[in-house]
Amino acid sequence: MAKLSASCAGCLLHFAEDEAIATRAAEATGLQPMTIERHRFPDGELRLRLPPALPAKVVLWRTLNDPNEKLVELLLAGQTARTLGAQDLTLVAPYLAYMRQDIAFNPGEVVSQRIVGRFLAGLFDAVITVDPHLHRVATLQEAIPVPDAIVLSGAPVLADWVHQHRPDAVLIGPDEESLQWVSQAAARYGWDRAVCRKQRHGDRSVAIELPALPVQGRTVVLMDDVASSGHTLAQAARGLLAAGAASVDVAVTHALFAEGALALVHNAGVSEIWSTDCIAHATNAVSIVPLVAEALVRLAAGQE
């Protein structure tokens, strides 16, 4: 893989918990990894310390699961990076939070996507993310108005993994919104694919209608961008197994998995759960580091 040219050399800032993945990304691009130190006061406030002298090009790696405190960290770190020499500041957020609420469904509701998007655009010149949860917005740049808003997909690397382990798979999306990822992965290997229909009655209450595609005796892989409460995947898995599927596995980009979700999905009859490392989790099977590294190199080449 090509690395950044000497003229584009810079650093990759990260927090301690992201050290492993950020170091791999730095090695793949030629960026220098640097740690942001964090101290928590007894009252919960944060004190951050960045390296005292930064190069002109700075990449900050911070995936935004458990986002509320991390957004404060980005505010503090992003503005401080500018004062320490950063002129070109890129955020790598493999998972982007607050993207699902893109309109006000009821009077008075906060449209969090618009607010958080503009907040990030005020801090960074570019944003790189993976499979953002966009519905009524056509592009990431509409949500985050920065000069470079780059969307990568975990579907191809998940498809490669599935092909190694379930070469005769049928890909099923647990709801209509998963069609884009299911279609992309299925086209890579010519698999049959379909999506379920979902009616949501609450955060943890859903009804699933299976597609017409026959699954009797077939190896099924449920594919989606996010696994959170696990209820949608569990309902779909139960239905598919009741319809005669030989097995059901799960492949997701973002392994959010709230408390109890993993057990819920396994108890529904799912055999294996595979995720990318956008969010560090026990189910991580494939890495998005090569995809992000390539995007960083392309971004730097376009800015030369």
Predicted pLDDT of residue 2: 56
Tens digits of per-residue pLDDT, 104-147?
889 999 999 999 999 999 999 999 999 998 878 889 999 999 99
Instruction: Assess whether pLDDT exceeds 80 at residue 7.
Output: no
Predicted pLDDT of residue 138: 83
Tens digits of per-residue pLDDT, 14-67?
999 999 999 999 999 999 999 999 999 999 999 999 999 999 999 999 999 999
Predicted pLDDT of residue 6: 45
What is the percentage of the chain residues whose pLDDT exceeds 90?
86
Predicted pLDDT of residue 162: 98
Predicted pLDDT of residue 205: 62
Check: CB of residue 237 under 8 Å from CB of residue 248. yes
Q: Which domains does the chain possess?
A: 6-153+288-303 (3.40.50.2020), 155-286 (3.40.50.2020)
Predicted pLDDT of residue 203: 53
Instruction: Assess whether pLDDT exceeds 90 at residue 302.
Output: no
Tens digits of per-residue pLDDT, 177-236?
899 999 999 999 999 999 998 776 555 566 889 999 999 999 999 999 999 999 999 999
Predicted pLDDT of residue 207: 80
Examine the residue annotation and report whether 198 is marked as an active-site residue of this protein. yes
Tens digits of per-residue pLDDT, 238-259?
999 999 999 999 999 999 999 9
